[in-house]
Amino acid sequence: MSRFDNHRLLAGLISFLSVGPVATLAQETAPDGDTVVIDEITVTADFRERLAAEVPASVTLFDAEDVDELAIQHFEELVQSVPNLNWSGDGHRSRYFQIRGVGELEQYQGAPNPSVGFLIDDIDFSGIGTIATLFDVERVEVLRGPQGSRYGANALAGLIYVQSASATGERNGLLRLSVGSDDMLAGGLAFGGALSDDGRARYRVSAHRHSSDGFRDNPFLGRTDTNGREETTLKGRFEFEPGDEVDIRIALLYADVDNGYDAFALDNGFETLSDRPGQDAQQSLGGSLRIDWSGIPGHTLTSITSAADSDIVYGFDADWGNDDSWAPITYDFVSIRERDRRTLSQEFRLVSDRDARFDYLLGLYALRLDDGLSTLDQGELFDPGFGGEPDILDARFTSDYEAENLAAFGQFGFAVGSATRLEVGLRVERRNTDYVDSDGLVAGPSESMTGGELALKHDFSRDLSGYLSVSRGYKAGGFNLGPGIPEAEREFGAEALWNAELGVRSTWLDDTLSINASLFVNRRDDQQVRASFQLDPGDPTTFVFLTGNAATGDSYGFEADLRWLPGDTLEFYASVGLLDATFDEYQAPQGDLSGRDQAHAPNYTLAAGGAWRHPSGFYARIDTTARDAFYFDVSHDQRSDAYTLTNLRLGYDAPHWGAELWLRNAFDETYAVRGFFFGNEPPEFTDTLYTRLGDPRQLGISFDRRF
């Protein structure tokens, strides 16, 4: 791990001085009434919804308080706080994630094939997490490593699970108003309570709208909102207990994210020159129905049904300029993609009651996915210095993709002595597909895939436990689209990821100090690698994306989160993620990348901070995150710069209301979240690095009224 030498001292110092998982766990007062201790949180994305300490995997948890204090609006604001999690800014909001260096960077064409699962209230939005706004969210969970038994083909790298606030029998509500720089204005209302006198029927509904200009100025159009944000979310949760043996939970979601997309500037700044700004919009309607029936002695039968319909528009000014930018040359291109995705899933689980000696779980899963894509690329290039006729582009393309996944899975737990438990999980999945497009390509690959895990957990004492696990995840194969693809490379095969992990969890100082840490080693067999190349240097829409199976890829690293509550007014935390993710063998379009780091896989991700809360209601908080430089893509060797972000909060919290002043990116750090390297400036079209910048400093104030 020689590449980590420059950062060992910093990571070690943070790990030694700081405490607590990056997700600030709930607090409770010890029986003596004086000591504040760390309470445990349940992992709801797990089959059995177990306590975090019982799950033999690397997990980061955010409860409702964490979400409110670490983010303002969207899940992408939490990414900085999760060890070894990164995101690609290919779009206005984050929807392409990388866990431990594994994950997609974009999807312009082809069948959806995500490596990171993304669920909201049990509704699958993998690869289209644009709608992950955070108002009235109860918890966010990030499971790192392959989830081969639990989620199958869409969770090769891990899983992100978002759960909205639950319905309760107690009548309550929340009104939140926020204003901030960048002309930000946001408001939300949530309320719920009992629908019946006995409290067996409950509800919670919420509505939220957020708008801002998007941190870009476009002097050519005289506008400051070409990259603006208009995000609306409506949610409803209903829970019923018609009898002692039945529990019914319904979740409904409507999201309308109508964001502009004018994020790239020719000088890599915040001032754009496009004459036809783009759009990154997603309108989704979804719902889930969960029924738990405990009528079988010693067992619970669970049914989870979910459905979603999403209309997605993604378009941009492909030349990033205007007539004045390129005069006397005519250079004007635009690219638009419209996608309609529908999913319908059904899962059945039979779960035995938790037993000290042996327990088990058996399940069946079915998913149907329909994805229709329509693309339009238009443009014109004419250089009067060369004469001739202008090059006119009007390329239209449509495709329809259908996939059916059927899976059977099981998980078994065995007691091995009084303090040791062995878990075995297995999932077998069959995927059948049908694909047709306007270029005449017809494909229907089918394949069977297998994943699972073997985990051994041991309790050394009440305050110390450890686990050792070996797991296997998988990702389905697919096919490449577009001109210039050799027939032999039209299809690519499935990939598998093997993960070995050693972890420890411990509490100290009367449960006021918690430490979670894990070491992992990954090996990817038949690794899928997506590269791109430009067919016509004078046409920014002629990128061809080619996915192939590299021989192997290896990664190893370390993750830890710590937390310390030295008293009832102070709390400190830190997390560290170290990662070495490289290609063993890979011949990329630009040459041999064997031994090079994979894209969007920084060698370190760090977070640390603290909070002070006075009994009078005043509080203050500081959160600092840092991440190393990373390669932007596999198609070139351009890298980001390392950066550090700091967020501040100062507020007052009373029993029924609260107000706070917040400052994000307090030191106005300039940092890149995506980068392209190609020629986009006539007449020479010299290859240049173009970066999309993350949000600059933003100041705001929020007011809460609880009732």
Return the HEC string of 595-644. CCECECCCCEEEEEEEEEECCCCEEEEEEEEEECCCECCCCCCCECCCEE
Set out the domains of the chain in order of their start, with CATH numbers. Answer: 2-706 (2.40.170.20)
pLDDT tens, residue by residue, 383-432: 998 888 899 999 999 999 999 999 999 999 999 988 999 999 999 999 99
The structure tokens listed for 126 are 């993998």
Whole-angstrom CA distances from 551 to 416, 434, 474, 548, 689 are 38, 27, 15, 10, 29
Q: Token digits for 461?
A: 């004492």
Q: Are strands 116-120 and 158-164 parallel, antiparallel or unpaired?
A: parallel
Confirm if 258 and 278 have CB atoms less than 8 A apart: no
Residue 673 contacts residue 693 (beta carbons within 8 Å)? yes
84's tokens: 């070894």
187 in Cβ contact with 209 (< 8 Å): yes
The residue among 30, 35, 118 whose CA lies nearest residue 74 is 118
- DSSP summary character for residue 52: G
How far is 268 from 415, CA to CA, in rounded Å?
A: 58
Taking the C-alpha atoms of residue 459 and residue 420, their distance in angstroms, rounded to an integer, is: 6
Residue 705 in contact with residue 657, Cβ under 8 Å?
A: yes
Spatial neighbors of 166 by CB under 8 A, at least 6 apart, are: 138, 204, 237, 239
Does the pTM surpass 0.75? The reply is yes
Q: CA-CA distance, 653 to 462, in Å (whole number)?
A: 35
Phi, psi of 683 (to 5 degrees): -90, -15
Is residue 451 a contact partner of residue 431, using CB atoms and an 8 Å limit? no
pLDDT of residue 11: 40
Task: Check: CB of residue 575 under 8 Å from CB of residue 83.
Answer: yes
Q: What share of the chain is helix, strand, coil (3-state, %, to 5)?
A: 5, 60, 35
Q: Whole-angstrom Cα distance, residue 163 to residue 171?
A: 20
State the DSSP H helix or E strand holding residue 507, giving kind and residue range, or none if neither: strand 495-508
Distances (CA, A) of 437 to 76, 109, 371, 689: 33, 11, 12, 33
Report the amino acid identity of residue 160: I
On the CB side of 634, how many CA atoms lie within 13 Å of its CA? 32
Can you tell me the distance from the alpha carbon of 257 to that of 264, in angstroms, rounded to the nearest whole number? 20
**What is the per-residue pLDDT for 36?**
67
Which residues of the chain fall below pLDDT 50? 1-27, 30-33
Q: What three-state secondary structure class fits 19?
A: coil
Q: Is the separation of the CB atoms in 268 and 691 below 8 Å?
A: yes
Alpha carbons 387 and 256: distance in angstroms, whole number = 47
pLDDT at 150: 85
* pLDDT computed for residue 109 by the predictor: 67
- Helix and strand numbers (H, E) in the chain are 4, 40
For residue 305, the model assigns a pLDDT of: 98
Q: What does the alpha-carbon distance between residue 491 and residue 481 come to, in Å, rounded to a whole number?
A: 9
With CA atoms as reference, report the closest residue to 216 among 278, 135, 282, 258: 278
- Which of 465, 619, 563, 504 has its CA nearest to residue 36? 563
**Model pLDDT for residues 151-195, shown as the tens digit of each residue:** 888 899 999 999 999 998 889 999 999 999 999 999 999 999 999
The Cβ-side half-sphere exposure at 702, using a 13 Å CA radius, reads: 23
Which residues share a beta bridge with 261? 278
Taking the alpha carbons at both ends of the chain, their separation in whole angstroms is 53
The predicted pLDDT at position 41 comes to: 74
Length of the chain: 707
What are the φ and ψ backbone dihedral angles of 70, each rounded to 5 degrees? Answer: -105, -15
Look at residue 54 in the predicted model and tell me its pLDDT.
Answer: 81
Question: Which residues, in sequence order, are CB contacts of 677 under 8 Å at separation 6+?
Answer: 632, 633, 635, 636, 638, 687, 688, 689, 690
The token pair that represents 488 in the structure block: 């032999």
